[in-house]
Amino acid sequence: MASLDDITALLGEPGFNCSDPAPWERLEHELNVRFPADFREILDAYGSVVINNQVYLDHPGHPTRDLGETIREAILLWNEGDGADEIAPHTVGSLPGQLLPVATCSQGETVFLRVPDSPSAPWAVGVHEWDSFSYTPHDMPFSDWLLAYLRNEDPTMYAHDPGPEWRPFFEATA
């Protein structure tokens, strides 16, 4: 599994560095789910950020870009209407086997964590692209997916146009 050091080596030093578990505990209690440790560690380090002007990550303790609010709104959006089950390959929600929307993207993609069917099963990432209505599962933890994205190895989302001077970057969101 990719480490926070692997992410930091490409993305740069984080500046949020939250050590308060209370926001996570409240959100996990509300959703009845325990987020994967790598996901929590990355968000605790970076907070609510936009990566490469493309991927928006929110933290549950951020005053305006709250992960809980983002998830609640996305679940409602994904489950409204009669055709919702035709758009996503699994039900969107926080129950075992469902897709939990955890990040949005500037080109309309949604990044999901697939809630494991059992506590011992691994989490996995999936990316839905609105323009093609396709869903691509990635059988890997969030940290591995993010590292692949930063290295431009995720075929569903390209981090940049590679050039000799380009490197991944992030900005804190207000």
Q: Which CATH number covers residue 50? A: 3.40.1580
Find the domain containing 95 and state its range: 4-154+162-172
Question: CA–CA separation, 92 vs 85, rounded Å?
Answer: 9
Rounded mean pLDDT of 98-117?
A: 94
Question: CA–CA separation, 124 vs 132, rounded Å?
Answer: 21
The model's confidence at residue 160, banded by pLDDT at 50, 70 and 90, is low
The model's confidence at residue 82, banded by pLDDT at 50, 70 and 90, is low
CA angle 111, 132, 170 (to 5 degrees): 35
Rounded mean pLDDT of 7-36?
A: 96
Residues 6 or more apart whose Cβ sits within 8 Å of residue 62: 47, 48, 173
Would you say residue 174 has pLDDT above 80?
no
**Residue 76 φ then ψ, to 5°:** -60, -45
Number of domains in the chain: 1
The fraction of the chain above a pLDDT of 90, given in percent, is: 71
Rounded mean pLDDT of 22-29?
A: 98
- The model's pTM is 0.92
